[in-house]
Amino acid sequence: MPDAPGLELIRGEVEQDHPGAILDTGFDRDQPALVVDPAQILAVLAWLRDAPGQGYRFLSSLHAADYLPAEPRFGVHYELLNRDRVERLRVKAMLRDPSAAGPVVGGGGALRAGHGPSSTPPTAAPPTGEEQLPEIDSCVELFPTAEFQEREVFDFFGIFFRGHPDLTRILLPEDYVGWPQRRDFPIGGEPVTFTYNERTYG
Amino acid sequence: MRERGLRARDMLRGDLEGEELERYVEERVVMTNFDKLLNWGRANSCFPLTFGLACCAIEAPIALVGSPRYDLARFGAEALRASPRQADLIILSGRVSIKMAPVVRRLYDQMLEPKWAISMGACSSSGGMFSNYAVVQGADKFMPIDLHIPGCPPRPEAVLYGFTKLQRKIMGNPDQGWRQRYNAAGTEEWARGGPRSEPSPEAAEAYEAARELIRA
Amino acid sequence: MAELAMTDGTLDTEVMTINIGPHHPATHGVLRLVVDLEGEVVRDLKPVIGYVHTGIEKSCEDKSYWKVIPFVERMDYVSYFFQMEAFCGAVERLIDLEIPPRAKYLRTIFLELNRIHSHLVWLGTTALDLGAVSMLWYCFRERDRILDLFEMATGQRMHTRYFQVGGVIEDIPRGFEAKLRQFVAEMPVRVGQYQALLDRNEVFLSRTKGTGIVPRERLLELGVTGPLLRAAGEPWDLRKAFDYLVYPEMDFKIPVGTVGDNYDRYRVRVAEMVESTRIVEQALDALPEGPFIADDRKYVLPPRSELPTSMESLIHHFKLVTEGYRVEAGEVYYAIESPRGELGCFVLADGSAKPARVHFRDPSFVNLQAFKNMSVGGYVADMIASLGMLDPILGGVDR
């Protein structure tokens, strides 16, 4: 893994091309992490993939975590891997929940540098209705492996990926309502019947 | 059971007459030898459906039928059938998720009478350890199950024991229709227009007629 | 499969969309494929998954760390030791706990035995799909021997709950080593028998050679790892790349293919079986004496013999069993090489006794994205062969 000074170097270099992209760096339990502004995530990922000397060309995993009650609530994690130097790097983009009476997620066209994929209109419209979903750009153009993984994140957390070719539910039935892996979604299931509560549940 | 005991008492006292006596004899006293032969045949040549959902599927049917050690062929059930139209027995091996439940139900409906269902393992019997939004808490919720086998996953010997129990059940039960077996009137399907549609008048009539038949 | 002969244009053809439903003898588990066929040629393919989605990741958030282990085992239900290792390894990194050397060796032995087991199940079922029906019985005969070994050591054939955070739950019994050595001596002979059956079989060769080819770069883009990637010529194996457990001390080779067709995938996995046998043998030879689980009573249950005499042990035991240990806030991603590829476990801890998020990067889920590339343009029968060689385990795909 790039060690702590290496991480700061990466931060410095990214800052030169894309100011304000990296919000924080972390080095927890020997695993480096970059916290990135969600509006510039594609720029940072592209830089990490293509800049000479970086070469994080393999996206091991794309997943999300719900940090409730901390704000911003959703963290989309990109686990990058450089196979030549055998180094892992985690990139996190923290998103707010717009339906929680907060400001809409930042990321209008004005902030983004002009990248081809993200300037085309999204092929899937965000679901209409009262609920507003946190949005982030899809990195399917950069890393095709993200296709299923972004669908899974959408399925479980309701995070909308702009530009994804087919953002539908993948593991739950298509007409399922709700985002199960958010922390405020109940776990479901039935209470187990024992003799003392048989009358209530049996 | 109590009712049968009372009727047996009446019969011995000579109190049952006429139609009641005939019915009693028909139900209780003897099953024709032909029926017995038929049931023996059905029990000893069950065609299970090649159906595996999750972990239990590796233990059975694969380890049961496809393994030289725990051999289901000695019970006559080695002819696994892929089509539900040709199978007698569906072994629900594995957790039934909410997306899969309608598929399982449809498979069960496509099977022809007489048919039996074994719920293998804790997950299909009762939801197992997964008490959450995604697993149906027991396949009993949407289909009739004849035999439950506990375990996570049950040993192949446990499944074989369960299978022999099922064989005894098949041989002992004169009435093969599962609706009669479970007194499950009202579970027939009709061509629906949607989840909450009403049956057409013809279908409703047929439905009532079927219900009368079962109740009789 | 570049051009397939069209007749002189007078025939009217139409693209037919068929559903190879979740219940099908050839899908390895409940995988549904919506396939667009033109004649027998696959034009488009869409896998629909989620039929065995169990909500394991959500359930894990409700249980203490110790209790998560049986849940997590049941994801990819053929390689259960790997999931245990991924989770226990991740938690051990979170709490910075070092496991004793004997535990490392024991874990390696069981992991490699599980790899052989997974490949045997794969070989039996895939050969069955391709028509070589008797392979199922041969492979499962060996598989039963491995399960006997598991049962001897842990009490359960599958889903053994053997790895715990800190080591393994129990030491191997007397007689295990002898039985394992017997198995290890016979396994290469058996693999030779499987190869004798299949390697020169005309039908098997014509079905697998030259089918399902995906170029290596495309596989890397799609995130495919494991034997699929190695068959395409890329020598990438996490056992050699990252040092975990005792793999740095083992001497083993990584089989790598050349063309990347289904035949190469078959050869790579069969060769891996032999290599795993060698690793087991070496680990068994080098197995050190010592404790089989770490000593830190804050995270590891004290031995039961101490409970009647030591008050402190009793308190530790009570705390660990009722609430469980607390893990400081942090997150970790730990990846190992499972029989299907990179199995990664992400654990987010928030300071309480229950993990806030457990996510598994399952190799079958990501590898399934390559299935379209493997099948489009080929025949339906080749699609079935590719599906077998892809080795998806739907429990892992759906979690």
Which residue, C78, C266, C398, is CA-closest to B63? C78
User: Is the per-residue pLDDT at A111 higher than 50?
Assistant: no
- Nearest chain A residue to C236 by CA distance is A83
Assess whether B94 and B130 both reside in one domain: yes
Task: Please determine, for residue C380, whether its predicted confidence score (pLDDT) is greater than 70.
Answer: yes
* Band of pLDDT at residue A119, cut at 50, 70 and 90: very low
In this structure, is residue B36 part of a structural domain? no
- pLDDT bracket for residue C189 (50, 70, 90): very high
pLDDT score, position B64: 80
Q: Can you give the pLDDT at residue B179?
A: 64
**Minimal CA separation from B58 to chain C, in Å:** 8
In CATH, what number is assigned to the domain containing residue B55? 3.40.50.12280
Residues of chain C positioned with their CB less than 8 A from the CB of B97: 50-54, 398
CB-CB neighbors (< 8 A) of A187 in chain B: 131-133
| Cβ atoms of residues C373 and C26 within 8 Å | no
- pLDDT of C2 reads 46
> How many angstroms separate the CA atoms of C230 and B32, rounded?
65
Strand runs (DSSP E) across chain B, as ranges?
89-93, 116-120, 147-149
C77 near B CB under 8 A: yes
pLDDT at residue B31 tops 70: no
Pair of tokens at residue A57: 């060309």
Same domain, yes or no: B56 and B154: yes
Instruction: Summarize the confidence of residues C26-37 as an average pLDDT.
Output: 83
- Number of structural domains in chain B: 3
- Minimum Cα–Cα distance from C21: chain B residue: B103
What is the pLDDT, as a whole number, of residue C179?
A: 92
Verify whether the Cβ–Cβ distance B66 to C56 is below 8 Å. Answer: no
The owner of tokens 């070589």 is C132
A29 contacts in chain C (CB < 8 Å): 93-94, 96, 330, 332
Q: Which residues of B touch C81 (CB under 8 A)?
A: none
pLDDT confidence band for A197 (50 / 70 / 90):
low
Q: Kindly determine whether residue A171 and residue C50, on different chains, have CB atoms separated by under 8 Å.
A: yes
Confidence of residue B197 (pLDDT cuts 50, 70, 90): low
Do B54 and B149 fall into the same domain? yes
B99 shares a domain with B24: no
Q: Does residue B186 surpass a pLDDT of 70?
A: no
Place of tokens 């919720």: B141
pLDDT interval class at A105 (50, 70, 90): very low
Contact flag A79-C368 (C-beta cutoff 8 Å): no
B72 lies in the same domain as B7: no
Which of C49, C62, C344 has its CB closest to that of A61? C344
Give the pLDDT of residue A114.
33
How far apart CA A201 and CA C319 sit, in angstroms, is 31
A194: domain CATH number?
3.30.460.80
Query: Is B35 among the domain residues?
Result: no
- Asked if residue B200 has pLDDT above 70, the reply is no
Residue C395 sits at the chain B interface (C-beta within 8 Å): yes
pLDDT tens-digit readout, C231-248: 998 888 888 888 888 888
Query: C366 vs A148: CB contact, 8 Å cut-off?
Result: yes
| Rounded Cα gap, residues C343 and C90, in angstroms | 12
Q: Are residues B135 and B55 in the same domain?
A: yes
Together in a domain, B54 and B19: no
Alpha carbon separation from C310 to C269, C303, C306, C307, C316 (Å, rounded) = 50, 11, 6, 6, 10
Query: Min CA distance, B63 vs chain C (Å)?
Result: 7
**Quick one: pLDDT at residue B26?**
61
The answer to whether residues B101 and B154 belong to one domain is yes
Rounded mean pLDDT, B68-94: 85
Mean pLDDT for chain C overall: 88
Are residues B74 and B57 part of one domain? yes
Whether B198 and B170 map to the same domain: the answer is: no
pTM of the model: 0.84
Q: Which of B99, B131, B132 sits opposite A172 (nearest CB)?
A: B99
User: What pLDDT sits at residue B21?
Assistant: 67
Contacts of A12 (CB under 8 A, 6+ apart): none
E-assigned strand segments in chain C: 16-20, 32-38, 41-48, 163-164, 167-168, 330-338, 341-349, 357-361
Q: Structural domain tally of chain A?
A: 1
Q: Is C45 helix (H, G, I), strand (E, B) or coil?
A: strand
Query: What's the ipTM?
Result: 0.84
Q: Tell me B139's DSSP state.
A: G
Contacts of C222 in chain A (CB under 8 A): 144-145
Asked if residue B193 has pLDDT above 80, the reply is no
Contact state of A152 with C223 under an 8 Å Cβ cutoff: no
Q: Are residues B172 and B189 in the same domain?
A: no
pLDDT digits (tens, 9 = 90+) for C33-74: 999 998 888 899 999 998 989 889 888 888 888 899 999 998
Residue partners of B65: CB distance under 8 A and separation at least 6: B48, B71, B72, B73, B77, B78, B80
CA C270 and chain centroid, separation: 15
Give me the amino acid identity at B118.
I
CA distance C109 to C99: 15
Same-domain status, B137 and B80: yes
B104 is a domain residue: yes
- Asked if the peptide bond before residue B153 counts as cis, ω within 30 degrees of 0, the response is yes
Residue A178's closest chain B neighbor by CA?
Answer: B133
**HSE-up (13 A, CA, CB side) for residue C290:** 16
**Structural domains of chain C ordered from first start:** 56-379 (1.10.645.10)
Which residue range forms the structural domain that includes residue A49?
4-201
Of the listed ranges A109-118, B21-30, B194-203, C287-296, the one predicted with least confidence: A109-118
User: Hey, which residues 65-84 in chain A have their CB within 8 Å of chain C?
Assistant: 65-67, 77, 79, 83
Give the pLDDT mean for C324-353: 90
The distance of B148 to chain C (nearest Cα, Å) reads 20
Subunits with 3+ C-beta pairs closer than 8 A to C: A, B
CA A130 to chain centroid, in Å, comes to 22
For residue B158, is it within any domain? yes
C40: three-class secondary structure by DSSP? coil
> pLDDT tens digits, residue range A25-36?
888 888 888 888
How far is Cα B170 from Cα B44, in angstroms, rounded to an integer?
A: 9
Residue with tokens 């409940």: C30
| Residue B3: predicted pLDDT | 66
pLDDT above 70 covers what percent of chain A? 80
| A183, burial (CB in 10 Å: exposed 0-12, middle 13-18, buried 19+) | middle
Residue B200 exposure: Cα atoms within 13 Å on the Cβ side = 6
Range of the domain at B83: 42-179
Per-residue confidence band for A116, with pLDDT thresholds at 50, 70 and 90 = very low
